[in-house]
Amino acid sequence: MYRMLNILVIFLLLVSHSALAGISSGFYSSHYAAGEGSVIAAVEIKDRGIYNLIVSIQFLRKPKDSKIYKSDEYEQLIDRLVVESRGIALQKILESKELSLTDFAGLKNNIETDIKKLVAEMKDKYLPGGEVEVVFSVSNFFLLEPRDK
């Protein structure tokens, strides 16, 4: 009797822990969490010196409740876009020479435009003929002053 009670208690603890883990992951998970990438690069601002520019790029992994968004091909597409979009952002930042504060809006637009081109290319490669919506945002676009200034 005592042994059966111990087994039952252990079983209930294991089952309840697994159930609570599943519930909590649903509450705290974000569709952006796995698709977020940040880039940090140094930029020179006219008459102010060198600052760190932080740019975050996020891709929405499940924009609609449709079969195509649950496919392996779509997941591979988003994974590839996350990696390559970071490269685009870093390249655009490093290509920029000395910037004025008004040049940052243009830089952000250039990054977004190049990512849109990349999305169009990759959609045709990974999901040919598929009507696929890829949602992304370029956010957290800000400057940080280096600590040693």
User: What ranges do the domains of the chain cover?
Assistant: 1-30, 31-144
Averaged over 98-110, what is the pLDDT?
93
Averaged over 88-112, what is the pLDDT?
93
Structure tokens at 105: 């809006």
Residue whose token pair is 């252990």: 10
Residue whose token pair is 């009797």: 1
- What pLDDT score does 106 carry? 95
Residue 4 has pLDDT above 90, yes or no: no
pLDDT in tens, 13-33: 554 544 444 443 333 333 333
- What pLDDT score does 138 carry? 93
Structure tokens at 96: 């920029």
What's the distance, CA 52 to chain centroid? 20
Residue 131 has pLDDT above 80, yes or no: no
Q: How far apart are CA 99 and CA 56, in angstroms?
A: 20
Q: Which CATH number fits domain 31-144: 3.30.870, 1.20.120, 3.30.479, 2.60.120?
A: 3.30.479
Confidence of residue 11 (pLDDT cuts 50, 70, 90): low
pTM for this model (two decimals) = 0.70
Rounded to 5°, the CA angle 27-32-118 comes to 160
Query: pLDDT above 90 covers what percent of the chain?
Result: 44
